[in-house]
Amino acid sequence: MTTATKPKPLKRDKSLVPLSREHHFGLLFCWKLKQGMANGTSFELMRQYIDYFWKNILKAHCQEEEVIVKRLLPKDDVNSIRLHEEHQLIAAIIELINEQKNLNTSLIATLQQDLTDHIRWEERELFPYLQTVADPEELADVGRLLEHDLQEPKDEFLPAFWENKKVA
């Protein structure tokens, strides 16, 4: 009796590592939102944080990914289309959060879950796909561009509501 072995995961191409680092930062943002909801943080404070993170970190990250994927994949590639649509959805959810007069946890929870799922998809499916189909020279060029353009994100939002425990 033989057992099927799982294929080894594809090692992340060094050209995409800067984006993976930013993905870690995005997952930390999602964790902070989840903690904020668990701690009973005011919706207004969480809205301010979401707006801060979008304007200072996430929006530019999404734009950078769009440029890279357009460079590496054909326009009609299903993964390219999915990336663009999911980025539009995330932007639309953030816009809704910013427009809501009476915000509740459901929109924040939706953003937190959708962004987490999106990042996981990019890491587990999109990046391995890019590494197998993209021209190696183009991928290397993208890596040099990312090294030059991307800076380590800084989240300097205060107060750090995710650290506070819910008051009984």
> pTM of the prediction?
0.86
pLDDT in tens, 70-92: 999 988 999 999 999 999 999 99
Check residue 52 and give its pLDDT.
96
Alpha-carbon distance values, 66 to 115, 120, 121, 156 (Å)? 16, 17, 15, 26
Residues in contact with 6: Cβ distance below 8 Å, sequence separation at least 6, in sequence order: none
> How does pLDDT run across 26-39, given as a tens digit for each residue?
999 999 999 999 99
pLDDT of amino acid 17? 82
